[in-house]
Structure formats: structure tokens, C-alpha cells
Amino acid sequence: MQRAHHEPAASPLLLGTFALEAETMAMRHWIQDQSHQLFAVQEQTGHHLYQNVPQEDVLDSMDLSMLSKRTCGLAVNITTSALCLQRLVQLGDFLIEESKLLTEEIMTSSQQPDSHQAGQRTCETMRTRSYIHGQVRTWRGQAKALLDEAEAWRHKTDIIVQTLLTLTTQRDQTIGIQIARDSRTLAEKATRDSTLMKAIAAVTMCFLPGTFVASLFAMDMFDWRSPLRSTVSEHFWVYWAVTVSLTMLVVLGWLAWSKYSEGSGVWQRWRKV
């Protein structure tokens, strides 16, 4: 390329060749960096080797959301790299075609009678064209190889994203199963508590009438030893008046409180507490 450096005017494809070489080398480093990051994601998920598939406890500690975002970002970068490499391959094809056309023009012009100096310059130009043509084909081939590698890594990113989605779904299903088990346990406990409450209510119903009657007859309103015919005090109505009034007052107060709490949300807050 030294002669090509000294005669840029005689090598119109030289600038394109330099651009193809520089961009291909830059894309090579870029693809390597992206592939290393993607392999790091594979190592974190444990799917870079079959025997390193993560266990359930390791899976629970993974930040699958962050890994998914990182993988999607790498997929975008690799896709962009693949598009750039496609343009480089097209540039290489263009330079090869132009090199062929220039070679044909030089061969055509060399057949015309001319001086010895012009013929020597034509030979030097042909050597330069041949060297540039070889360089273009070389870097075009490397760009095509990098393009194939980028396509392979892009397919890997799709697989990794699908794997992360599957792992997320599996973890959510595991959490859902655990919640279902806990709900079943709570339901069983609630059923047992309900059975116990029914038993307590049944016992209360059995003993409550007797307790009420015993408490009622134990009051001073009854005098069982009185020689008079009536053993009930004439003030017995006071007991019923106070009892019925208090009962109605308690029931009305409870109904008013229930209506107020349902309308203002106090009942819901009280239930949460």
C-alpha cells in the first residue's frame, strides 16, 4: 500500500478501501464486546452449559427483570451492528465492481499506442489496482464473517430472552402455587375455627335457657316462701321495661354504627386493623 499512499489520485478506490478496513476493525471490536456481555448474561442464568442449569434457590435470587432489560439492550446493539456490517459488505461489493471496471478501462487504454513512460505508469497502476482489489476482497470477507457472527449472536439473544421469560413464568407459577398452598392452609384453619364456633354456639344454646331461667328466678322479684298466693313482686314489670329498652337501644345503636361506618369507610379501616 506504500505506492498507493504516494499516488492517491491514481487510486480512486483507496479512500473506500481505508474506510472499509477501519470500519470492519471497529465492528470486530464492537461485536466482541457485545458477545462477551451476552455470554456474561448466559453465565448468570446458568444456561451457557447444560450441567450448570440454576437450581430453584439460585433462580429465586436472580434479578430476572434486570437481566431481561440487559439482554434486550444487547439484542438492539447486535441488530444495529448487523445492519452496519450489511452496509460494509455492500461497500465491499461496490468497491470490487468499481475495481473491475477501472481495470477494464486501464486494459483498454493500454492497448492504444503510447510512449514507454505511459506504459510503465499503466503497469504501476495495474499493480496498485490489483493490490487494492485483494485488500477489498479480504476486508469484505471479514465483514461478511462478522455479519454471520452477529446474526448468530442475534439468534442467541432471542433464545436468552425467551429463556428469561420462561424462568420468570416458572418463578411466578411457583409463587402462585405457594400462595395457593397458604390459602388452602388458611381455609382449613378457618373451617376448623368455624366448626369450633358452631360447637360453642350449640353448647351455649343448650345452657342459655337454663341460665336465663335460673337468673330470673333468683331475683328478689320472686318470693317462693311467701304465704300469699302470688309469689311475683308487683314491681316485676320494671325488669322487663328496662331490659327491653336497653336491648332495643343496643340494637339501634349497632345498626346506626354499621350504616355510618359503611358509608364513611370506617368499617373497612377497622377491619384492616
pLDDT, tens digit (0-9, with 9 covering 90-100), for 111-169: 555 544 555 556 766 777 778 888 888 999 999 999 999 898 888 888 888 888 888 88
CB 67 within 8 A of CB 168: no
Asked whether the predicted pLDDT for residue 64 surpasses 50, the reply is yes
What value does the mean pLDDT of the chain take?
Answer: 78
Q: Which amino acid is at 107?
A: M
Asked whether the predicted pLDDT for residue 49 surpasses 60, the reply is no
Prediction pTM value: 0.54
Q: How many CB atoms lie within 10 A of CB 140?
A: 21
Asked whether the predicted pLDDT for residue 106 surpasses 70, the reply is no
Tens digit of each residue's pLDDT (9 = 90 or more) over 187-219: 989 888 888 898 898 888 888 888 888 887 787
Asked whether the predicted pLDDT for residue 257 surpasses 50, the reply is yes
* Predicted confidence band of residue 55 (pLDDT cuts 50, 70, 90): low
Asked whether the predicted pLDDT for residue 89 surpasses 50, the reply is yes
* Calpha distance 110→219 (Å, rounded): 141
CB 38 within 8 A of CB 32: no
CB 38 within 8 A of CB 71: yes
Of 246 and 259, more confident: 246
* Burial label, 131 (beta-carbon count in 10 A; 0-12, 13-18, 19+): middle
In this prediction, residues 250-264 reach a mean pLDDT of 82
What is the pLDDT at residue 4? 42
* Calpha distance 152→160 (Å, rounded): 12
* Predicted confidence band of residue 258 (pLDDT cuts 50, 70, 90): confident
Read off φ and ψ for residue 55, nearest 5 degrees. -80, 175
* Calpha distance 239→149 (Å, rounded): 97
Which among 92, 90, 103 has a CA at the least distance from the CA of 137?
A: 92
* Burial label, 6 (beta-carbon count in 10 A; 0-12, 13-18, 19+): exposed
* Calpha distance 273→270 (Å, rounded): 5
Read off φ and ψ for residue 47, nearest 5 degrees. -105, 15
